[in-house]
Structure 1
Amino acid sequence: MTLLALGINHRTAAVDVRERVAFTPAQLDAALGELKRLPAVSEAAVLSTCNRTELYCVTNDGAQSVLEWLGRFHNLPVEDLERCSYQHLGDEAVRHLIRVAVGLDSMVLGEPQILGQLKDAYQFARKSVGLGGELEQLFQHIFQVAKQVRTETGIGENPVSVAYAAVSMASHIFDDFARANALLIGAGETIELVARHLKEAGIANICIANRTLSRAEQLANELGGTAIGLEGIPHALEKADIVISSTASQLPILGKGMVERALKKRRYKPMFMVDIAVPRDVEPQVGELDDVFLYTVDDLQEVIEENRRHRELAAAQAEELIRQGVNAWLHLKRVRSGGEVIKRYRSHGEQLRAECEAQALAELQQGRDPQEVVAQLARQLTNRFMHYPTLALRQASGDDRQDILQTAQTLLLAPVDSSQDPS
């Protein structure tokens, strides 16, 4: 049996293909059940996000049967899947899984969300079909290595998306960030990401202004915020500590006069503004006001580029920690496989001991001399323990198996510290 990681991601397939191979939450339970019932699969887990679908299996038949099942489940020709899928086996699968967990295989280098998604996939597989020893222990090891990478390299500390960079800059302006009021202008993808980052950062008061009020209301309802039309912006500005704008307007939405009037109402309490739009939503003259901190998309790009360089350096450090993590996993796996041999060996020894002990006790009950019984017990134990190793050594000598003889010398003739209890 070997570990298999088979998947399709943003690098190998367009979004229309990724959509077709993705598993909805409603499908996942049935899919895991089917996957684990394949004759070649003994353990299975599934990770399905907008950017990747990956199957993690312990299998004895490589990837073909798993790939064919994926095609059947989604009614896709297996030939199409072969062209856009990838597979990793054994230690390469372990390495791939760790790189996924720490965000090195993500569209945004080092993004932290994927680790939570992988933990969710692990928990779902445990509850749905149960995980055997290999995947259970592997996931625990991966989470441990991922934590080490994030702690020691800081790969996720510096924002590399416009939305996250805007929120990160805002968080450094205010002492009590969670109490700040945020006004977001627009309701497209970027503003949606900004809104979600603000929510995750603890901002409770979020107002979304948009030309189409229904779209603003939809997003505000999802986040527990409020929605207004563009005509409500002047009043909303009076309460806004943070203003982030990203619309498709060809003309500025916020002028110097509007902001000046809002500042007066605010008694000149500072206002942090980020204009992500191109063309700009905020007149450049707004940045001349003493109590306004205005940043444009160009300012953010400089921050993002610098942060990307930091993440790339952290990624190089992470690769070394991942290499160590893979080696540690292989070591643990070898130890576990050796543990089974040790268990059988000790069981055999206990059986011999019990047989010889029972015979000795029976002879003592019959009145035999205890010294003779003890001497015979020692001879029996020694001879029975040495019998099979002696036969194997003779056979190895006759076959000139120096490797076996050398190993036997290490195992059987190693010096023993008599001060320590060998048990």
Structure 2
Amino acid sequence: MTLLALGINHRTASVAVREQVAFTPSQLENALGELRCLPHIREAAVLSTCNRTELYCVTNSAGEQAVLEWLSRFHDLSVDELARCAYHYLDHDAARHLMRVAVGLDSMVLGEPQILGQLKDAYQQARQAKGLGGELERLFQHTFAVAKQVRTETGIGKNPVSVAYAAVSMASRIFDDFGRASALLIGAGETIELVARHLHEAGVRTIVVANRTRERAQALAGPLGGEAIALPDIPTALEKADIVISSTAAPLPILGKGMVERALKKRRHRPVFMVDIAVPRDIEPEVGELADVFLYTVDDLEEVIEENRRHRQVAADQAESLIEHGVGSWQQEGRLRQGGELIRDYRRHGESLRDAARDQALERLARGEDPAKVVERLAHQLANRFMHQPTLALREAATQENHELLSAAPQVLLPSKPAFDKPAPAAKRQKDDTPA
């Protein structure tokens, strides 16, 4: 059987394709059941996020095409369209890919930590759907152990490398308790969406999103339990905001010094942390002159990001080394299991030959045949039966010039020393036994 990883991600497919191939939570149980029931599939798990959809299967040689065709049918896409943006890995390459995904080396943001939690969710869902057998179970557990080692021994997740994450990270330096802070986000593009998600995950419970189109703001704020407002409502919202982060495409500033001054008076000069990610800027530079405002621009963030990116790349190189070691140990464990299974099968085969020969010998003894002849026949049968299959295999190897098998055969088939030690000559024994 073969380990297969097949999928698409942000590097191989546009968001338009990714959203068509993604599995919703309500689809996942049915999808796992269908995938597991394919004739070529023995085990299956599905990882589906905004940036990737990946299927991990234990299958035979025909499984890859079967999985691709099933995925296209499930999402009503053409196989050719899907094949153009799909990738696949087999056996140790599939294991390596899963480990790289788990530690964030294959993520849009290098080393981002959310993917490990998403992978653990995928593992639990596959278990509940009875999609996991021994092979995937062991692989996932091994992957989680490698990911823990990488997080513990490297700094892969310590330094923010996106504008959104850097903005939230800087805010955390000012506010000891994010749970008491309120955030006003201006804009509703991808960056603000990431900022909103990071703030929510950091513990900010009051999030207000202001946008020119209120419907778009609601689509962003709603899933996080936030509030959507229009741009004219910003002055009122500003009075309650401890954190203000803005990223719009407006040609002129949205927040002026006067508006912020009025809000600070209503706040009784409680400090406000502001980040202006927009270019052109959304916040007038003069706002930074106010005593109770900490204003940062995208340039301030880029300095942090570039420095952190360098640190994280060093950690990523360390992570790659740990992953290679993890892949090697996973392969070694697999070889040991395979060897153990082979030994068990070989011993069962030998025991079956032994039992058959013994039963035949007992039958002859019961019929009154000469015991010496029965024993001689038993020894002859056992030797022939044990040597029959190896003899055929060696002849075939010689015919096919299979030098690898012929070279290994003596070590496997021939004893390193005589099976029975010959007794020493009597005179030699007497000499050796004479007391000193």
How would you bin the TM-score normalised by the shorter chain?
0.7 to 0.9
Quote the residue 2:200 is aligned against.
199
Using the alignment, how far apart are the partners of 1:194 and 1:82 within structure 2?
Answer: 34
Question: Larger deviation: 3-12 or 342-351?
Answer: 342-351
Amino acid aligned to 2:11: R
Identity of aligned residues (%): 70
Give the drift of 1:275.
0.8
1:231: Cα distance to partner?
3.6
Q: Aligned to 1:293, what secondary structure does the other structure show?
A: strand
Amino acid at match of 2:40: A
Q: Which amino acid aligns with 1:80?
A: E
Q: Which amino acid aligns with 2:43?
A: E
* Equivalent-residue separation in structure 1 for 2:147 and 2:46 (angstroms): 19
Residue identity opposite 2:124 in structure 1: Q
Distance 1:273 1:408 in 2: 77
Root-mean-square deviation over aligned CA pairs: 3.6
Deviations 1:67-101 (A, max 9, x none): 23333333433333333222111111111111111
Residues 370-414 of structure 1: CA deviation (Å, up to 9, x unaligned): xxxxxxxxxxxxx99x96999599969999956333346789999
2:190 is the counterpart of 1:179: no
Mapping for residues 2-401 of structure 1, pairs under 5 Å: 2-62=2-62, 63-344=64-345
Q: Distance in 2 between matches of 1:66 and 1:332?
A: 27
Distance in 1 (CA, whole Å) between partners of 2:16 and 2:240 is 43
Structure 1 runs not aligned, ≥5 long: 356-382, 415-423
CA gap of 1:269–1:413, structure 2 versus 1, over 3 A, is farther
What residue identity is the alignment partner of 1:166?
A
Tell me, which stretches of 5 or more residues in structure 2 are unaligned?
A: 357-378, 420-436
Instruction: Give me the TM-score of the superposition, normalised by structure 1.
Output: 0.80
Change (3 A) 1:222 1:410: farther
In the alignment of these two chains, the number of paired residues is: 391
Q: CA deviation at 1:274?
A: 0.4
Amino acid at match of 2:199: L
User: Does the aligned pair in 1 maintain the 2:33–2:131 contact within 8 Å?
Assistant: no
User: What is the distance in 2 between the residues matched to 1:410 and 1:259?
Assistant: 89
**C-alpha contact 1:393 1:405 (8 A) present in aligned 2:** no
2:410 corresponds in structure 1 to: 405
Q: Using structure 2 for the length normalisation, give the TM-score.
A: 0.78
**Secondary structure, aligned partner of 2:112:** coil
Mark the CA change 1:165 to 1:394 in structure 2 (over 3 Å): closer, same or farther.
Answer: closer
Task: State the one-letter code of the partner of 2:50.
Answer: C
Find the aligned partners of 1:337 and 1:394 in 2 and give their Cα distance. Answer: 20
- 1:3 and 1:90 in contact (8 A); partners too: yes
Amino acid at match of 2:13: A
CA contact (8 A) 2:182 2:242 kept: yes
Q: 1:140 corresponds to which letter in structure 2? A: Q
Change in Cα spacing, 1:40 to 1:390, as seen in structure 2 (3 Å) is: closer
Counterpart contact for 1:397–1:405, Cα < 8 Å: no
Q: Distance in 1 between matches of 2:328 and 2:250?
A: 54
